[in-house]
Amino acid sequence: MALLETRRADLFPVLGAFQVEAARRFSSGPPKTFAAGALLYGVGEPSPTAWLVLEGSIEILRRDALGHSSVLTALQPGQFTGELRHLTGRPTIAAARAGAQGCTAVPFDPPHLRALLIGSAEIGEIVMRAFVLRREGLLEEKDLGAVLVGPVATPEFVRLADFLEGNNYPYSVLDTSSGGEGRSLVERMGVAESELPLLLCPDGSVMKRPTETEAGVCLGITPDLDPAAVHDVVIVGAGPAGLAAAVYAASEGLSVLVLDRRSVGGQAGASARIENYLGFPEGISGRALAGRAFSQAAKFGAIVAVPLDVVRLVPRMGEAREGPIGLELGDGRVVRGRTVVVASGAAYRKPDIPELSTFEGSGVSYWASPVELALVRDRDVVVVGGGNSAGQAAVYLAESAKHVHVLVRGEGLAESMSRYLIRRIEEHPRTTLRTRTELVGLGGGGHLEQVRWRSSATGEVVSRPMRHVFMMTGAEPNTAWLADCIALDEKRFVKTGTELSAHDLADAEWPLARAPYLLETSVPGIFAVGDVRAGNVKRVASAVGEGSISVHLVHKALAG
């Protein structure tokens, strides 16, 4: 773990005697003594207890899905076990056992651990910093967490790798296409090519060609949900707007459930570097920003559940339309909330190219993550789009690609992209901007091999060998699941506040004497924020602002 060399004091802080006594007031039970070698918690254990060492030592063990294990560190008196999963109650990735002389330690289950972080600002800062850094350190490890086994360039493999990357879950790769240990493992297990990729989970289970939902359950990414619970607010979408709403709502004592079909971060989570977000002059990756927001939400007790797809909204349950709002999930379950914040964002618009769906996942991508960066090394690639996301992707991919061709239909980028990104594209030796140009065709066998683009200025069609295209054009709101329950504009973005006409409210049978609040939809208690909202400014800061403002309005709706 590289962080061990530079941040050991922050990774494994030692609380002083006064701090230890202060922390013990928040414990979930009395001190407990363990004999040498006794297991405090194992890999894959749900709702793990964190321990504060009083006497002796606790060894932290790392183990991957292939059974390789070793001691990561030994914690001494005044030090805590645990990382972010101990806050959320998700199954552990590492294990803990008593050292050679045994140990005495104080337990902190997830609710009591969160109470400590909130109740003691000084200790909370120390422990939270350590937990965040430990999670980053786990992601650096190559022999920890899950193992993906299969040919790395296939759509199924890339899909699962992107899922793990997006949810900050540590994993390693065994590439079967290059022989070696991966191929030997598959042959020993008698696995057919059609069953690849394999996902080897830390608890020892083996999954053949799993879906994201199956992988989320196996790895403990997806939490168990209480079917009887009625949450103060259910947030649909874990992008910047949804995470901001979660942090502010949970910090103010509301019970919060966040649902997302894929991972935390949304489109912003796929951004390689965001440099115009307030407070980060050196820039921050979308994944890091989303990871920090998730940590904050977990600290205050918000439940973030991915990948769970919301397929239908039931505006008010019960005959009197005064019951909770229902949200039907893809598996048929229904979760309920007193209020709902719609933060489901928007997806990139798909151009009308007949072959497009054929190559999605096998050459055509809608985000640029470290997984894709490795695949494009020393290859020509195409980025289609003129917004900031396309600019960030082009600059990021140019670090590895042989050359990046940026295609835009307009005369330039000035109206849709930040100036600093335009300059980097213009000045980078491995990027070429092609204006008044659109992608018109794709070709290849099982994987993309060739692209065709056309210049609207000359009408010339150019064909180039190309194995990777990144589509980042326009935005289509993710509102199909609303099923006409709330008012949408002509482009199917959600209308809120003063944008709602008298006709909209009459159609929705608005039942209250008051007018809708600023971010409220045509149904009382349902709010919309971020890219899904009509009139939204397509910036991360704007989404975060709307998410935080919505919590004030949620309070007003609950009070009313």
Q: What is the pLDDT of residue 269?
A: 80
210 shares its domain with 195: yes
Do residues 203 and 43 lie in contact, with contact meaning Cβ atoms separated by under 8 Å? Answer: yes
* Domain presence at residue 92: yes
How sure is the predictor about 1, in pLDDT bands with cuts at 50, 70 and 90?
A: low
318 shares its domain with 402: no
CATH number reported for the structural domain that contains residue 82 in this entry: 2.60.120.10
Q: What is the pLDDT of residue 317?
A: 56
Beta strands in 403-447 (DSSP E): 403-407, 431-434, 437-444
Q: What 8-state DSSP symbol labels residue 503?
A: H
10-14 long-range contacts, Cβ below 8 Å, gap at least 24? 10/129, 10/130, 10/133, 11/130, 11/133, 11/134, 11/137, 12/73, 12/75, 12/79, 12/130, 13/79, 13/80, 13/126, 13/127, 13/129, 13/130, 14/76, 14/77, 14/78, 14/79
Q: What is the pLDDT of residue 78?
A: 98
Where a domain ends, among 176, 192, 219? 219
Do residues 443 and 355 lie in contact, with contact meaning Cβ atoms separated by under 8 Å? Answer: yes
How many C-beta atoms surround the C-beta of residue 435 within 10 A? 16
For the segment 348-353, the average pLDDT, to the nearest whole number, is 88
How sure is the predictor about 486, in pLDDT bands with cuts at 50, 70 and 90?
A: very high
Domain, as residue range, for 106: 3-140
Q: What is the pLDDT of residues 286-315, one digit of tens each?
A: 888 999 999 999 999 999 999 999 999 987
Element (H, E) at 161: helix 155-166
393 shares its domain with 463: yes
* Domain presence at residue 224: no
Q: What is the pLDDT of residue 226?
A: 92
* Domain presence at residue 64: yes
Q: What is the pLDDT of residue 321?
A: 63
Helices assigned H by DSSP within 35-88: 85-88
295: amino acid identity, one letter: S
- Of 224, 301, 302, 291, the closest CA to residue 263 belongs to 291
* Domain presence at residue 461: yes
Is it the case that residue 320 has pLDDT exceeding 70? no
172 shares its domain with 118: no
62 shares its domain with 130: yes
250 shares its domain with 131: no
94: amino acid identity, one letter: A
16 shares its domain with 64: yes
Whole-angstrom distance, CA of residue 404 vs CA of residue 464: 13
552: amino acid identity, one letter: H
* Domain presence at residue 225: no
> pTM for the full model?
0.93
To the nearest 10°, report the CA torsion of 510, 329, 491, 538.
100
Where a domain ends, among 170, 199, 219? 219
For the segment 486-498, the average pLDDT, to the nearest whole number, is 95
Total number of domains in the chain: 4
Is it the case that residue 142 has pLDDT exceeding 70? no
* Alpha-carbon dihedral sign for residues 172, 176, 181, 186: positive
> Residue 419, exposed/middle/buried by CB under 10 A (0-12, 13-18, 19+)?
exposed
> Residue 42, exposed/middle/buried by CB under 10 A (0-12, 13-18, 19+)?
middle
Q: What is the pLDDT of residue 43?
A: 87
Q: What is the pLDDT of residue 178?
A: 80
Whole-angstrom distance, CA of residue 516 vs CA of residue 324: 18
CATH number reported for the structural domain that contains residue 406 in this entry: 3.50.50.60
* Domain presence at residue 351: no
Whole-angstrom distance, CA of residue 195 vs CA of residue 215: 15
How sure is the predictor about 431, in pLDDT bands with cuts at 50, 70 and 90?
A: very high
Whole-angstrom distance, CA of residue 245 vs CA of residue 547: 4
276 shares its domain with 338: yes
Q: What is the pLDDT of residue 319?
A: 54
527 shares its domain with 501: yes
Whole-angstrom distance, CA of residue 465 vs CA of residue 342: 42
53 shares its domain with 129: yes
Q: How far is CA 451 from CA 354, 385, 403, 443, 460, in A?
A: 13, 16, 15, 6, 14
Whole-angstrom distance, CA of residue 276 vs CA of residue 282: 9
Whole-angstrom distance, CA of residue 212 vs CA of residue 228: 25
CATH number reported for the structural domain that contains residue 201 in this entry: 3.40.30.10
Q: What is the pLDDT of residues 255-284, one digit of tens each?
A: 999 999 999 998 888 787 888 888 999 889
Where a domain ends, among 105, 140, 175? 140
Whole-angstrom distance, CA of residue 130 vs CA of residue 12: 7
Residues in the chain: 560
Whole-angstrom distance, CA of residue 212 vs CA of residue 361: 14
Q: What is the pLDDT of residue 416?
A: 87
Q: What is the pLDDT of residues 63-90, one digit of tens each?
A: 766 767 788 899 999 999 999 999 998 9
72 shares its domain with 158: no
28 shares its domain with 94: yes
Q: What is the pLDDT of residue 270?
A: 75
Q: What is the pLDDT of residue 180?
A: 84
439: amino acid identity, one letter: L
* Domain presence at residue 190: yes
Is it the case that residue 116 has pLDDT exceeding 90? yes
Is it the case that residue 318 has pLDDT exceeding 60? no
* Domain presence at residue 384: yes
Is it the case that residue 505 has pLDDT exceeding 70? yes
DSSP 459-498: --EEEEE-S-EEE--S-EE--GGGTTSS-B-TTSPBP-GG
